[in-house]
A and B are shown apart, each in its own frame.
Chain A
């Protein structure tokens, strides 16, 4: 996966040979509806992958399978060497390694921003409250909203809420981050602040899987773009090549629709 010389990436953005996520021949059905078909995907540590595709193509389901929010019926998923099975211990281990951000942020409205960020570290990681708060403030500063720490989610704008959600995930010190359409519910001027946060995260070498239609973001930080349709991975390539010369007809159609205007 060689980067071009013009790439602005920092040295940290290099990809190691270590495998972070390994998905083999994974299938999933909702009832009789075959939502994911024979998915094979290997993610190396430090990789930043953007998944795109028409709605209903199974891209959200794919990343939700990785931290067991959805159950897959056939095939295997191995995250950081831990196989995803029905064993609760493995699920706990994987969830503590994998952070996730949702389209609708899903902050806990009854807790302050700070409490949102410390809840899981305190109850799952068993970190002393003061220490958890220190960590939370560190990440809130990183997403540039430390001054909102004592407010409630309802008092924040959408962009701020999504940045809190990112900080909340980071407080668990994940090695992999999943993003499920993190900017789809945001006003245009708020999309940038969230993307900036994600770019910053990518530059620090976080392994990222991101379902998004932000093609600018894909061009800037992704080292691989995956196109999904009808529950299958149709095409994957480096962003440059992916956007310039898509090989598959369906990819071409999709790109012309979202880049056409």
Chain B
């Protein structure tokens, strides 16, 4: 008698078993697929090698050190047209990261808000949120970017409108000017701390490297204080849980936590001598401060509302997927609706919400490459656009571009998957 688990007999082996026998079948097909894949890539490689353009130029990344020779309108770090292609690409990458990060945060806020409210018992609120979702997710994001850009460029006042004794427009709270060129916002800087910048000389674009480093050091201090606050708050919460476990009453931590969040950071900022460089109208334009161009604003806002609509549906699906029975059982035990949400529904809903949320974050990251439509210089605009066109190094540029998006997306994916694993349901 032979059974399924018996080792194959050498004498009983026939070639047809490779296809018919379920012990070998999958290996056979995997081997065939692998060979086909190798052949395909081999063909691609040989094709590339025989390509006359490549044969002439070879693959060479040396061009990255050459002067770029073009201007970039949104510069998070200093840059001139004499800077190298590498620095231009670097700025492009930072611009991509900035808009991707901002859009992920606001899209999540919009999405959670709209998703929860769409389940509201209030008819008007529910319908409004449904309208939002259906309107924004069913029109291409490129069109939203263009619409918002056009509106901001046409509706907002020109900088000259802020001039005169009786100006047509005035900055919000006297510090932030929303113009058709973009948003001029106050720029924070420090007058104390490491490598202090004197109060009367606001650091501008041509700041020496030492000052740049000092400023970074000061921000790192702020970040460290923030992290310390975070740890302290966690400590307080752990203590509260311990007290609750011991006595049954959870001590109120609201004011303590509020204090821990704000007092150290405010003290630090005061000690470091935080000042705000307010944009001022000089000549035809505002000087100083930070300029967030309306291309950035349009891209950020369009990606946020567009992706927010998708996230809203993810959130709604996650909450709806938790059966009514769970809510009822919790309510029957005497838990109030807020606690039912935080102790029973959300812990279960999160597992359902997070995997598609990762996809949405990745979508945002890659959709930032639509920046080129409104002239926001992201990585696709610099490395994949002007640099590529000027140097003719298409293969190198596209490879670098792909590598960047791939690595960045994989990092997001890895981080979010790790978070997902931490909230995963243990079953069986």
Checking B323, B335, B426 against A152 with a beta-carbon cut-off of 8 angstroms, the contacting residue is B426
Partner pick for A92 among B323, B325, B336, CB 8 A cutoff: B336
CA distance A98 to B427 in the complex (A): 30
A124 interface residue, CB < 8 Å from B?
yes
Interface with A: B21-29, B242-250, B282-290, which one?
A: B242-250
Contact A106 B347 (CB under 8 A): no
| Shortest distance from the beta carbon of B360 to any chain A beta carbon, whole Å | 23
A124-B333 in contact (CB<8A): yes
How far, in Å, is B335 (CB) from chain A's closest CB? 6
A-B contact pairs, 7 of them (CB 8 A): A106-B323, A119-B335, A119-B343, A125-B248, A129-B245, A155-B427, A169-B333
Is B332 in contact with A128, judged by CB distance below 8 angstroms? Answer: no
- Kindly list chain A residues whose C-beta atoms are within 8 Å of the C-beta of B329: 100, 102, 106-108, 165
Q: Which residue of B328, B339, B426 contacts A106 across the interface (Cβ within 8 Å)?
A: B328
Which residues between 77 and 128 of chain A lie within 8 Å of chain B, taking CB atoms?
88, 92, 95-96, 98-100, 102, 104, 106-110, 119-120, 122-128
Query: In whole angstroms, how far apart are the Cα atoms of A179 and B365 in the complex?
Result: 52
* Residue numbers in B under 8 Å from A75 (CB-CB): none
A109 contacts across to B, CB distance below 8 A: 348, 425, 427
Contact with B along A137-168 (1 / 0, CB 8 A): 00000000000000010110000000001001
The 3 closest A-B pairs by CB, nearest first: A129-B245, A106-B329, A120-B333
> Which B residues, 330 to 350, have Cβ-Cβ distances below 8 Å to chain A?
330-336, 339, 343-344, 347-348
**Besides A95-B334, A100-B329, A119-B343, 10 new A-B residue pairs in contact (Cβ under 8 A), listed by A number:** A88-B336, A99-B332, A108-B344, A109-B427, A120-B330, A125-B248, A127-B248, A131-B248, A152-B425, A155-B427
A123 interface neighbour in B247, B332, B339, B348, Cβ under 8 Å: B339
Q: Is the CB of B427 within 8 A of A128?
A: no
Neighbour of A124 across the interface among B247, B334, B344, B426, CB < 8 A: B334
Closest chain B residue, CB of each to CB of A64: B328
> Which chain A residues lie closer than 8 Å to B253 at the CB level?
none
B348: A residues at CB distance < 8 A:
108-110
Q: For A125, list chain B residues within 8 Å (CB).
A: 248
Say yes or no for B428: interface residue by CB 8 A criterion.
Answer: yes
**A67 at the A/B interface (Cβ < 8 Å)?**
yes
Across the interface, do A92 and B343 meet the contact criterion of CB distance under 8 Å? no
A residues less than 8 Å from B426 (CB atoms):
110, 152
Residues on B facing A (Cβ under 8 Å): 244-250, 323, 325-326, 328-336, 339, 343-344, 347-348, 425-428
Interface residues of A, Cβ cutoff 8 Å to B: 67, 69, 88, 92, 95-96, 98-100, 102, 104, 106-110, 119-120, 122-132, 152, 154-155, 165, 168-169, 172
Q: Is the interface of B mostly helix, strand, loop or mixed?
A: helix
Once the chains bind, are A69 and B328 in contact (CB under 8 Å)?
yes
Chain B residue contacts of A92, Cβ below 8 A: 334, 336
Contact for A96 among B250, B328, B334, CB less than 8 A: B334
Contact among B249, B250, B333 with A119 in the assembled complex (CB-CB below 8 Å): B333
Q: Name A104's contact: one of B247, B325, B339 (CB within 8 Å).
A: B325
Contact B331 A172 (CB under 8 A): no
Measured between beta carbons, the chain A residues less than 8 angstroms from B343 are 119, 123
Across the interface, do B332 and A67 meet the contact criterion of CB distance under 8 Å?
A: yes
B420 CB, min distance to chain A CBs, angstroms: 14
In the assembly, what is the distance between CA of A70 and CA of B226, in Å?
A: 47
Once the chains bind, are A69 and B428 in contact (CB under 8 Å)? no
Q: Are A108 and B245 in contact (CB under 8 A)?
A: no
Q: Would B335 and A120 count as touching, CB distance under 8 A?
A: yes
Interchain nearest-CB distance for B339 vs A (Å): 6
Residues of A contacting B248 with CB < 8 Å? 122, 125-129, 131-132
- Check if B244 sits within 8 Å of A129, measured CB to CB: yes
Task: Name the residue of chain B whose CB is nearest to the CB of A165.
Answer: B329
Q: How far is the CA of A109 from the CA of B348 in the complex (A)?
A: 8
Decide: B325 and A124 in contact? CB cutoff 8 A: no
- A154 near B427 with CB under 8 A, answer yes
With A110-B425, A128-B246, A152-B426 known to touch, is A100 a contact of B334 (CB < 8 Å)? no
Q: How far is the CA of A98 from the CA of B354 in the complex (A)?
A: 36
- Contact check: which of A67, A152, A165 meets B427 at CB < 8 Å? A152
Chain B minimum-CB-distance residue to A98:
B332
Docked Cα-Cα span, A172 to B333, in Å, equals 7
| A123, A125, A127, A169: residue with the most chain B Cβ atoms closer than 10 Å | A123
When the two chains form their complex, are residues A110 and B347 in contact, meaning their CB atoms are under 8 A apart? yes
Q: B335 contacts which of A99, A124, A128, A169 (Cβ < 8 Å)? A: A124
Contacting residues, chain B, for A95 (C-beta < 8 A): 331-334
Give Cα distance in the complex from A229 to B425, angstroms: 42
Measured between beta carbons, the chain B residues less than 8 angstroms from A122 are: 244, 248
Chain A residues with CB under 8 Å of B332's CB are 67, 69, 95, 98-100, 169
Tell me if B331 and A69 are in contact (CB < 8 A): yes
In the assembled complex, the CB of B354 is this many whole angstroms from the nearest CB of chain A, namely 14
Q: Which residue of A lies closest to B346 (CB)?
A: A110
Please name all residues of chain A whose beta carbon is closer than 8 Å to the beta carbon of B249 when the two chains form the complex: 126
Whether the pair A168, B245 counts as a contact (CB closer than 8 A) is: no
* A168 contacts B428, C-beta separation under 8 Å: no
Query: How close is A109's CB to chain B, nearest CB, in angstroms?
Result: 6
